[in-house]
Structure 1
Amino acid sequence: MAKITYIEHNGTEHSIEVATGLTVMEGAVRNMVPGIDADCGGACACATCHVFVDQAWFDKTGSREAMEDSMLDFADGVTETSRLSCQIKVTEELDGLIVRMPKHQG
C-alpha cells in the first residue's frame, strides 16, 4: 500500500491508501476522488486522468512513453510534471506521492 494525496484544483485534498499494483488513476476512481474522469478506463486512449505530479516525486513515477506523450497533447495546461495517472503504477516507493488535478480534464 502507498498513501497518495490527490489535490483537486480548488485545493481540496484526498489522502488515500492505494494497493500496490494498481495505478494512480484506479486509486482515484475506486475511491471516488473528483477531478479524474478516466473516460477510457485506463487504456491510455484519452487525457481525462491528467495530473501534475509534485516535483519532488516526478522522477519516481517513471518516464512518459510515446503514447502517453501523444495523449497529453489533448490535455489542458500540460507542464513538465504532467502525467496520465493511468500510466503510473503504484509501488511502495510511491508512498507519500502527491498529485494535483487540473481545472479541466481532456
Structure 2
Amino acid sequence: MKDIKIIVIDQNEKETELIAPTDMGLSLMEFLKGNEYDILATCGGMALCATCHVEVLSDSVNLPAISEDEYAMLDTLPNITDTSRLSCQLKLNPEMNGLKVKIMGDGLA
C-alpha cells in the first residue's frame, strides 16, 4: 500500500494536508467527500454535473489526460481555469503524491 499526500484548499481558503490511500480505487471526489468536504457530486462521479470541480495547483504531479466528456462539462462552468479538473475523473494513484487542489464548487445545486 502506498499512501500519498494531498493538499486541499476549501471554499473558505483553509489549506489542509491529507494522507490518501491509493489501493482502494477511490477517485479524488470520493476521497474528498469521505473527508467531509462540501462537494455535491450530484451525478455520482459520471462527469455529468461538474459539482466536483477543482483547480489543480501543483504542476509537478502526473495526472491522466482530460477526456472529451470531462472537458465538455468543464467548458460549461463560468469559473474554469487552465488547470480545472473534475475530481470524480481523477483516480488516486502513487503518481499523484503532492497533489494540491482548490475546491471550486460552492456546494450549492
Tell me the TM-score normalized by structure 1.
0.85
Q: Describe the shift of the 1:49–1:103 C-alpha distance in structure 2 as closer, same or farther (beyond 3 A).
A: closer
Matched residue, 1:52 = 55
Displacement of 1:83 after TM fit?
A: 0.3
The runs of at least 4 aligned residues of structure 1 exceeding 4 Å deviation read none
Which segments of 5 or more consecutive residues in structure 1 lack a partner in the other structure? none
Matched residue, 1:98 = 100
Quote the sequence identity (%).
38
For the pair shown, the structure with the greater C-alpha radius of gyration is 2
Tell me the TM-score normalized by structure 2.
0.83
Question: d(CA) in 2 for partners of 1:6 and 1:55?
Answer: 11
Which segments of 5 or more consecutive residues in structure 2 lack a partner in the other structure? none
Contact 1:48 1:75 in 2 (8 A): no
The equivalences for 1:60-99 within 5 A come to: 60-99=62-101
Q: Residue type of the partner of 2:96?
A: L
Displacement of 1:104 after TM fit?
A: 3.2
Matched residue, 1:38 = 41
Q: Which string of whole-angstrom CA distances, capped at 9 and with x for unpartnered residues, describes residues 83-106 of structure 1?
A: 000111111111111000126367
Contact 2:27 2:88 in 1 (8 A): yes
Question: d(CA) in 1 for partners of 2:65 and 2:5?
Answer: 21
Let me know the Cα RMSD of the aligned residues: 1.8
Q: Residue type of the partner of 1:97?
A: L
Give the structure with the larger helix fraction: 1
Q: Equivalent of 2:29, from 12, 21, 25?
A: 25
Q: Which string of whole-angstrom CA distances, capped at 9 and with x for unpartnered residues, describes residues 2-50 of structure 1?
A: 121110132112322222121111110111112x221111111110000
Question: d(CA) in 2 for partners of 1:57 and 1:25?
Answer: 20
